[in-house]
Amino acid sequence: MRLTPDMNRQYTYADYLQWFDEKRRELINGFIRIMSSPATTHAEVANDLNVTLYNFVKRRSGKCKVFVAPFDVRLPKNGEKDDDKIFSVVQPDIVVVCDPSKIDEKGCLGAPDMVVEVLSPSTRKYDLNDKFNLYEASGVKEYWTVAPADKDVTVFLLQEDGRYAEGVIYRSGAKIPVQTLPGLEVDTDELFAR
């Protein structure tokens, strides 16, 4: 069955799986957000950071896995696992998952340990508001927003009270510790070298 989605209606992940056109979409609390193709700088920064994270994990032969968009991350409420009861599915630029039980053939079910979103003018507000709130509520422990235009990275870490601490901004010359992958630091000068 092929559905033509109504942007003003709430949907579930089961509905999402029925859309066979070429559009990339995310659902936040059941509402559709159409995704556009990233700009070249966005793609380059996401790729460079992905390679850094992936190579570190591969060298360490750790239990964590690194994934890049498009990769579905289903963020259910109250531990729901049925597709027709999941109302949020996103495709972050980069995801690190350290609990193998969350990974299946559809992507990730539950909060990843780390999410990275590369900001662009069209996604900045969405990534810093809607996705920030969703990731915080879902229990994503480490959320990075990478701003190529500003050449900075903001890191949000989930606290014991289930809220993100105020973000720490890293600029030129900084080495960013990756809490999810102890021992790894990301050099901002290398990340924004282009």
Q: Give the residue extent of every domain in the chain.
A: 39-191
Q: What is the pLDDT of residue 4?
A: 61
pLDDT for 75-125, tens place per residue? 999 888 999 999 999 999 999 999 999 999 999 999 999 999 999 888 888
DSSP 28-59: ETTEEEEEPPPPHHHHHHHHHHHHHHHHHHHH
DSSP state of 130: I
Q: What is the pLDDT of residue 161?
A: 97
- Low-confidence residues of the chain: pLDDT under 70: 1-5
Run of H or E including 120: none
8 Å CB contact between 87 and 13 = yes
Run of H or E including 103: strand 103-104
Q: Check if CATH label 3.90.1570.10 holds for domain 39-191.
A: yes
pTM here is 0.93
Q: What is the pLDDT of residue 1?
A: 45
